[in-house]
Structure 1
Amino acid sequence: MQIKALSISEVNQYIKRILISDPILGHIHVKGEISNYKFHSSGHMYFTLKDQNSRINCVMFKSNCEKLKFLPNEGMSLICKGYVSIYERDGQYQLYVTDMEPLGLGALHLAYQQLKDKLDKEGIFDIKYKKQLPYIPRKIAIITSPTGAAIRDIISVIFRRFPKVELCVFPVLVQGEAAATSIVNAINLCNRFSDIDIAIIGRGGGSMEELWAFNEEKVARAIFNSHVPIVSAVGHETDFTIADFVADLRAPTPSAAAELVVPNILNIKDYMNSAKKRLLYSMNIKINELEQRLSLIENNYFFKYPLNQIYDKQQYIDELLQRLNRYLKAKIEFNERHLMYLGERLNGLSPLSVFSRGYSIVRDEKNQIIKSVDQVRMDRILSIDLIDGEISCRVIKCIKEEKAFVKS
């Protein structure tokens, strides 16, 4: 009897059919410690599960990786769900993982802690990014389920405390796979309204799975990027979500959020009445003080006799004018006397003054003044200037007198 020889591919395909059809290997849960972990750029995960004695190669494709709430890391103990099959090319069997969860720790709790640590390192929870809530808001947005008890509690408390405020409800899904996207869209829509002062985001209590939409990263980043201050009011007082840490203010319950965003109108009225009384008291004190000052001003000498100051200034001006006139008169008299003195001196130096004393000036034909007999010759014609005229004469005699000088 001749047996047909199989190719390697046919053998691997046969083994693959056997493995997949096995009721245990076709749907198996395997626990072990992860090693040789690699998150490929294609989105697939490749790793090895091992225990003290053995190991098995594992692969998790991108479509299943995207459903994970957490990211595995080297050395983590896991329970992997999937099926055992063979990789035909290498002829090696491996575990094809469709889902996984941490061993001894819930997947949601681990995912929550991982995201919390990630955002905390980025500084998103830092208090410096928290926006101040207005004391008296004009319009408040409520982002929650329109059918839940939370919205009824919020509206009831707000209208009881401060009925003047305007409310704007943004209905969203608060649990389920589409809830996170619904909440993000509502936050983005809320930010398009410039007149919204505060937004309350939240829901009533529930399990971690029911509250998970408020632990999604995209919800956290939408809250962080919102320019409208957001108050997180998710679950009960003991429930903490990522939204609580990112929000500008965390309220333990939806009712508490309503109390935090608006003041009590009765307290405001009491404050206004008290302020009014203080203002009136201060105004009366100020008015009395001003009346006293006005009375002092009215009785002041300068206000009783306002023209006296003008008269005093006029009298002072008159005195200055008198002093100025006396000064000018004295100055004029002094200048007149000085002018007469200068005139007398000038007159003494004038040739006419010399002429009046009998002196004359002798000039030759060239009109040069004769100062010495040495300048004169016989028969020369000379001109003599007198005080009242001129004489022309001829020289008939010159006598030069010798002057004796006594040396001292």
Structure 2
Amino acid sequence: MPSSQTVFSVSQLNTQIKSLLENNFSGIWLEAEISNLTKAASGHWYFSLKDENAQVRCAMFRMANRKVTFPAENGTQVLVRANASLYQARGEYQLIVESMQPAGIGRLQQAFEALKTKLQNQGLFDLHRKKPLPTNIRKIAIVTSAKGAAIHDMLSILNRRARHIEIDIYPCLVQGESAAKDIAEKIKLAQADQSLDLIIVGRGGGSLEDLWAFNEEQTALAIASCPFPVISAVGHETDITIADFVADIRAATPSAAAEIISQNCLDLAATLPHLNNRLTNGLQQTIRAQQNRLLTLKMTLSEHSPQQKIRQKQQWLDEQEWRINEVLSHKLTQLKTKQQKLSDRFAAHSPLEHFYSIKHQLAELQNRLTSTIQSQMQTKQNKINLAAQHLHAISPLATFERGYSATYNQQKQLIKSVKEVLPEEEIQTQLKDGFITSKIINSRSTTDS
């Protein structure tokens, strides 16, 4: 027995490993392919996530998977956010998946969150860095596409409501691989004009991919390093980009940006969007801080969480249900096989089957007997026909047919010689078609001279 080392029970060891996993691998992002997906009757999902060389078991409970908005199937490439855990009943490491999305969109969202966290940690979202909106705006620069609807809308509003403001337009790409670099270069080019009061950077609405140039680091750094106030005016009101967080003021749309700066430059109302933006950013930072604190408390309490224990029990129940179904299915198959064998044996020894077998044999014998009798009768008939033909050939009747006749005396005896008759004696001659009665008048032998 080791004297200086702690001797663990299996339960103690699994508990400590579970705690280590959950405390060190929480909120991780993983991109992989779904396989071995099983959707239990309880509503929970159990599956594996795999790549070319490895796989990991996962569980996604009902309250989490009900938020999945696309068809999750085997072979689907996904991006998941999960917490590592240990299923203590089997001592198996697994992931508890909290959210799932298609891999393509998920990669962009993951990159967005990563850059957002990085820039936030660098302090680029801090309120003290935000520059206020100038009170007397005379000249602005607009960095956007020269052909889009955004520049048209902004110029229309500014021309109608603030004609005194001088506008310099710096056309740039707002979509595609080179867009972020072009936007950053045009911001730097615009800030070389020391007479500017502020810069508007933006474009019209689009998908996450379309707006991605405003989620790249070089765009964010160019906005953050600009000495003039920068208004981010990207997409629609619901679109949020990294540029919105870094900019001094966020406008919900390009038109909203033009509305902000075209108000009475001396009117206090011109500062309200900026104050609203600062208030929103402050609330967001407070919420994020509280969320981080809540996550820390959640991780601390995870080992004793009743919900997690319930989930493990639910997973155990699902496994027991599968095992019972598997055993019952196997037993049912065995019983069906045994029943079939007994049915076959019974059928082989069944009196009814024996009767049918004998009946079949009798039918065959009857057919054979009938066939044999018919064959023998045909043979006999053929023999009779041959004999009849032969008999006919030697029959006196046949002789009669050729013109011959036979003569008989009164005693019905065949007369063979003239010496056997007397004068005046009646005789009968037989022909082919009847008899002739004659009387002897005279008789003469052929031997007489």
TM-score normalized with structure 1 length: 0.42
TM-score normalized with structure 2 length: 0.38
**If each structure's helix is expressed as a fraction of its own residues, which one has the higher value?**
2
